[in-house]
Amino acid sequence: MASQLDQLKAVTTVVADTGDFKQLAQFAPQDATTNPSLILKAVQKPEYAPLLADTVAAHKGAALEDIVDHTLVKFGQEILKVIPGRVSTEVDARLSFDTAATVARARRIMGLYEAAGTPRERVLIKIASTWEGIQAARVLEQEGIRCNLTLLFAFCQAQACGDARVQLISPFVGRIYDWYKKTAGASWDEAANAGVNDPGVKSVARIHAHYKQHGIATEVMGASFRNVGQILALAGCDLLTISPDLLAQLQASEAPVPRHLVFHGELQAAPAPLSEAAFRYALNEDAMATEKLAEGIRAFAVDAGKLDALIEAQR
């Protein structure tokens, strides 16, 4: 019997969610995703210290943000040596509300990849799913720079990303689950909210169905998983990005993996695009999404600052 990981790969593109590229080969993912927290975690490991030191040394005298981008791209290049597909590299979360700055930073990151011989088809630029971030992605996509819109919690964010024709979105399953569980407190029923009934799973399934129903080409990649059950409940999603720990659990099991996300309906005309006002109001009405988006940006910004400090200490 095939492992759950191999069974999952038959219906969904499996993506590794890590900056630790030395772990990747054993799971043979198609793509890989990184974020500021994952890169920070990796560069603090002894086996990656030389990579950071060499990158800093090679760009002595450069601006801090330049060295940061070179570091992110260096990790991306190493990851691309191990996987056949794409790597996602994230724009500084502190630019999440600045469209022009996000566009400029994304262009620079892509320029570094291309200067190193990496074709842009193998890179996704990760951007937070704020209104400003989505509009930056709209511009970048028109230039042939493919984007991965992250920190996505609300249906309106997915709608706006579809309107902008972004390449891929990363709805966060685990963080949605966290919010509902914390909000429910003692009344939370884990069994009743597991698998396909998990609030994070239901959010991704709704977005996936909407895109397929309306012929929206944007890829849906479930992200931020807390347990294997959430992953298995989304078998059939376009892609799923999974941490090494959970990939190992899937690899160790041979239990059956039924496909849950299958679209059988007829295509319908796409709804009218969301205006900025409609987007902001819908996001405001979703307390979970409003809180988790803000929290996620703050957390990534903190880790970006810590990475800055590590690099500053070596300059």
Catalytic machinery residues: 126
182, 176 Cβ separation under 8 angstroms = no
- Bridge pairing between strands 13-17 and 87-90: unpaired
- Alpha carbons 31 and 82: distance in angstroms, whole number: 9
- Name the residue with tokens 């800093």: 56
Cα angle vertex 69, ends 66, 73, to 5°? 140
What is the per-residue burial (b if ≥16 Cβ within 10 Å, else e) of 48-69? beebbeebbeebeeeeeeebbb
Fill in the DSSP letter of residue 33: E
DSSP string, 192-255: TTSGGGSHHHHHHHHHHHHHHHTT---EEEEB--SSHHHHHTTTTSSEEEE-HHHHHHHHH---
Provide the phi-psi class of 144: left if phi over 0, else alpha when psi is between -120 and 50, else beta: left
Residue 266 CA to residue 212 CA, distance in Å, equals 9
Q: Specify the length of the chain in residues.
A: 315
Most distant CA atoms of the chain, gap in Å: 58
Q: What are phi and psi of 114, to 5 degrees?
A: -65, -35
